[in-house]
Structure 1
Amino acid sequence: MSIGTNIKRLREERKMTQDQVAEALGITFQAVSSWERDEYKPDTDKLIKLAEFFDVSVSAIAEEKSNTFKTKEAIYDWEHMKTFVKTTARNFKLPATLKAVDYAIKAHEGQNRKHSSIPYIYHPLNLACHALSMGIVDDAIIAACLLHDVVEDCSAKLDELPVDEETKDLVNLLTCEKTNDENRQKIRSAYYKAISKNPKAALIKCMDRCNNLTTMSWGLSRDRIYRMIKETEEYYPVLLKTIKDTTEYNNAAWLLKYQMESMLDIYKRLL
């Protein structure tokens, strides 16, 4: 695809007009129109501004590919994952997990993953399946995987969750208050420090980060990707150590470290 095609696609995905893009960049709509028709190419300064405006990497706009790979936003259908989690919960008698599945689906209804059309519930179900695939059949862990974002993103009340106190404590640890540029470091440091003291919370948070790393390529800006890499390198080694120091999670610690560091290395090379 050409640069012009990329700009037009990003604009239309956000349901914006050429006038709106032009106003944001301080240029004329004729300039935007000429870019989209590939009559002219934006200079470096405008490319950077476009990337910031659309919240994507510069390469998402600038790369001209005559041959592109076909990609998938989701590997598994979330309905199939739901069935798998529910069946496993019944077989292993996990009451909190059974309640958490339906609660999470309802709480996240209408939400999509960032920069995609994938239902948000795909994410917590992915974490639950990730844990089960590593042989972790713990009711509180699987239920907290499913509910870890409902308080933070769905305005759910912690005391209203249909689960036991251990699961609520895990969800509480995994819920981070909103931050800004001024308080982000302080809040995030305290957040990760609290999680590092609880092996189950650390395990869930590392699975959460692995899943989020796999979706960074969906359209995060270069700055956002860089910040995510730096945060992962700063905080997650401590969480992985907490997991490794817990005998029953030894294998999970190795797998999560391998997955996380492999993805970080790939992104660094592509950046």
Structure 2
Amino acid sequence: MGIGSNIKGLREDRKYTQEQVADALGVSFQAVSSWERDEYKPDTEKLIRLAEFFDVSVSAIAEEKSNAFKTKEAIYDWEHMKTYVKTTARNFKLPNTLKAVDYAIKAHEGQSRKHSSIPYIYHPLNLACHALSMGIVDDAVIAACLLHDVIEDCSVKLDDLPVDDEIKGLVSLLSCEKTNDQNRKEIISSYYEAISGNPKASLIKCMDRCNNLTTMPWGLSRDRIYRMIKETEEYYPVLLKTIKDTTEYNNAAWLLKYQMESMLDIYKRLL
């Protein structure tokens, strides 16, 4: 696949017409059509603007895909993860987790992970399974993993959650208010500072970041990837220290730090 096929694939994946792409770039739809047919190639400026429009890296448009590996968007089926979490919750008597599973599935119904067709519920279930795989069988932690995004993404209120006050407190800490270019630094700094004071919230946020790092190749732009790397390096060492200083989370701290730093190193080399 050449540049033309890449442009056409991105356009069709996002359900844009040639006219919409042309309007966004200030060119004619005939120009877009000629790019997609590989009759002409967009110049460097247009490549950059195409990447910004589709929110992908320039390489996602410019590189040949004939030797590309086949990749998986999801490793585990979310319904299998749901069954595992619910079975574990019953076996270990985790009442809040049992209520949180069904609530999260309903709250995130119809939502997908960014730039993919994967149901969004895959993400909170992945966090819950991540915690359980590290031997953390804590009702508050698992339930908060499942509910950590519902306030931000599902238009529900904290008091609506069918869980106890400790879990509501964790979800509140993990919910970040909307930011813009002017206030982002101040809000994000306060957000991570508050989380760092709570070992359980720090644990969940680090698992959340590990999972989100795995989704960066799904089509994030180079600038977005760069921002995620810088944010991880700036704020997550403090969260990891909070986890490490909590005796029952010592092993989790090592595993999360290893996973996070390994992934960051891979992305830096690829960039």
TM-score category, normalised to shorter length: over 0.9
Which amino acid is 2:31 matched to?
Answer: A
In the alignment, structure 1 residue 244 sits paired with structure 2 residue 248: no
Q: Which residue of 2 is the match for residue 122 of structure 1?
A: 122
Shift, 1:66, TM fit = 1.8
Structure 1, unaligned stretches of length 5 or more?
Answer: none
Q: Which residue of 2 is the match for residue 195 of structure 1?
A: 195
Which amino acid is 2:133 matched to?
Answer: S
Q: Which residue of 1 is the match for residue 170 of structure 2?
A: 170
Runs of 4+ in structure 1 off by over 4 angstroms are none
Partner Cα distance (2:68, 2:189) in 1: 40
Q: Which residue of 1 is the match for residue 110 of structure 2?
A: 110
- Give the SS at the match of 2:166: helix
Shift, 1:41, TM fit = 1.1
Partner Cα distance (2:65, 2:26) in 1: 28
Which amino acid is 1:70 matched to?
Answer: K
Partner Cα distance (1:265, 1:43) in 2: 31
Q: Which residue of 1 is the match for residue 94 of structure 2?
A: 94
Partner Cα distance (2:66, 2:123) in 1: 32
Instruction: State the TM-score, normalized to the length of structure 2.
Output: 0.99
Q: Which residue of 1 is the match for residue 56 of structure 2?
A: 56
Cα deviation 1:47-103 (Å, max 9, x = unaligned): 000000000111110111222211100000000000000000000000000000000
Q: Which residue of 2 is the match for residue 184 of structure 1?
A: 184
Query: What's the Cα RMSD here?
Result: 0.5
Cα deviation 1:212-247 (Å, max 9, x = unaligned): 000011000111000000000000000000000001
Q: Which residue of 2 is the match for residue 26 of structure 1?
A: 26
Structure 2, unaligned stretches of length 5 or more?
Answer: none
Q: Which residue of 1 is the match for residue 219 of structure 2?
A: 219
Cα deviation 1:181-203 (Å, max 9, x = unaligned): 00000000000000000000000
Partner Cα distance (1:219, 1:245) in 2: 36
- Give the SS at the match of 2:152: helix
Instruction: State the TM-score, normalized to the length of structure 1.
Output: 0.99
Partner Cα distance (2:97, 2:209) in 1: 21
Q: Which residue of 2 is the match for residue 267 of structure 1?
A: 267
Partner Cα distance (2:237, 2:66) in 1: 40
Partner Cα distance (1:242, 1:66) in 2: 46
Aligned-residue sequence identity (percent) comes to 88
Q: Which residue of 1 is the match for residue 2 of structure 2?
A: 2
